[in-house]
């Protein structure tokens, strides 16, 4: 398998730059304006993050299954959440809740100085590590843990992104935001809304409802 995989990816690789360019055109048409985010996305080959049977669909604007009941988010959502998180400013220390296959993590690695990512499903942690190693994302640290708890030992973070839908905004994550920091999180069960939470002071936060989204649920525990 290790021998034939590069050959099977080669045909995709020959067209991936072109398909990524078309994806960027589509993202701009969908309203993504941050050229730093678009540039970061252009450097990440999305097809390596999905099963080979799905690689032909890797650059479509759809979420795709990655196993264990999880999905890789559609390119628009990755770009949109990254743009909101960045807010036109360089990112320093970022926490991602829900590594999944590592695609959003890889994009963040191009946008931030340090990325800490938490995933509750061990086989996905192992998959993501392989992908991130292949792309030489050396500024990323992965942790197999319950994302609801965040990483208090490493906080505060100037940005936190959650890639699964929570029933409510976890207090632990709010407390791990630096003052002036931004949290982007989908909230809801049947109907989900993307929220931006900004920490104004030690005790004050500002919440903004952004747009309807659809994510897998944020679960507790590890597996």
**Global pTM?**
0.92
Q: What are the C-alpha distances in Å from 147 to residues 8, 27, 120, 137, 208?
A: 35, 29, 7, 21, 22
Tokens representing residue 207 in the block? 């919440």
Pairing state of beta strands 177-188 and 205-213? Answer: unpaired
Q: How confident is the model at residue 17 (pLDDT cuts 50, 70, 90)?
A: confident
62: DSSP letter: S
Average pLDDT over the chain, rounded to an integer: 92
Q: Is 95 exposed, middle or buried (0-12, 13-18, 19+ CB in 10 A)?
A: buried
Say if residues 137 and 128 touch (Cβ distance below 8 Å).
no
- Given 55, 73, 82, 117, which residue is catalytic? 73
pLDDT-based confidence at residue 16 (cuts at 50, 70, 90): confident
**How many CA within 13 A on the CB side of residue 41?**
31
- Residue located via tokens 């036109």: 88
Within its chain, how far is the Cα of 164 from the centroid? 10
pLDDT tens track for 190-215: 899 999 999 999 999 999 999 999 99
| 73 is annotated as an active-site residue | yes
Q: Write down the pLDDT at residue 15.
A: 54
Residue 185 has pLDDT above 50, yes or no: yes
How far apart, in Å, are the Cα atoms of 4 and each of 8, 26, 53? Answer: 6, 32, 14
Task: Tell me the CATH class for 63-213.
Answer: alpha beta
DSSP 8-state symbol, 52: G
Dist. CA 131–CA 48, nearest whole Å = 7
Q: How high is the pLDDT of residue 186?
A: 98
Calculated CA dihedral for residues 36, 37, 41, 44, nearest 10 degrees? 70
Contact call for residues 95 and 156 (beta carbons, < 8 A) = no
How many residues are present in the chain?
223
CA-to-CA dists, residue 191 to 8, 64, 217, angstroms: 39, 20, 11
CA distances to 20, 78, 86, 202 from 27, in Å: 10, 10, 16, 36
Task: Write down the residue that tokens 């942690």 correspond to.
Answer: 125
Work out the average pLDDT over 93-120.
98
Distance of CA 117 to the CA centre of its chain: 9
Structure tokens at 80: 């949109």
Query: Judging by DSSP bridges, how do beta strands 205-213 and 64-67 pair with one another?
Result: unpaired
């Amino acid at each position: 398998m290790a021998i034939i995989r590069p050959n099977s990816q080669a045909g995709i690789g020959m067209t991936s730059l072109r398909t990524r360019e078309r994806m960027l055109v589509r993202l701009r048409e969908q309203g993504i304006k941050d050229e730093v985010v678009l540039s970061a996305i252009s450097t990440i080959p999305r097809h390596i993050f999905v099963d080979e049977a799905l690689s032909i669909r890797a650059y479509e604007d759809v979420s795709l299954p990655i196993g264990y009941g999880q999905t890789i988010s559609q390119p628009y959502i990755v770009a949109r959440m990254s743009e909101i998180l960045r807010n036109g400013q360089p990112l320093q220390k970022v926490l991602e809740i829900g590594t999944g296959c590592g695609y959003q993590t890889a994009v963040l690695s191009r946008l931030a100085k340090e990325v800490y990512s938490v995933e509750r499903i061990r086989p996905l942690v192992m998959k993501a590590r392989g992908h991130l190693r292949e792309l030489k994302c050396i500024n990323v640290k992965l942790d197999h843990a319950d994302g609801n708890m965040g990483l208090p030992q490493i906080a505060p973070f100037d940005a936190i992104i959650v890639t699964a839908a929570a029933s409510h905004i976890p207090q632990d994550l709010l407390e791990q935001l630096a003052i002036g920091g931004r949290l982007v999180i989908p909230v809801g069960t049947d109907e989900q809304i993307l929220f931006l939470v900004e920490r104004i002071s030690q005790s004050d936060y500002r919440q903004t409802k952004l747009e309807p989204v659809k994510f897998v649920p944020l679960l507790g525990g590890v597996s």
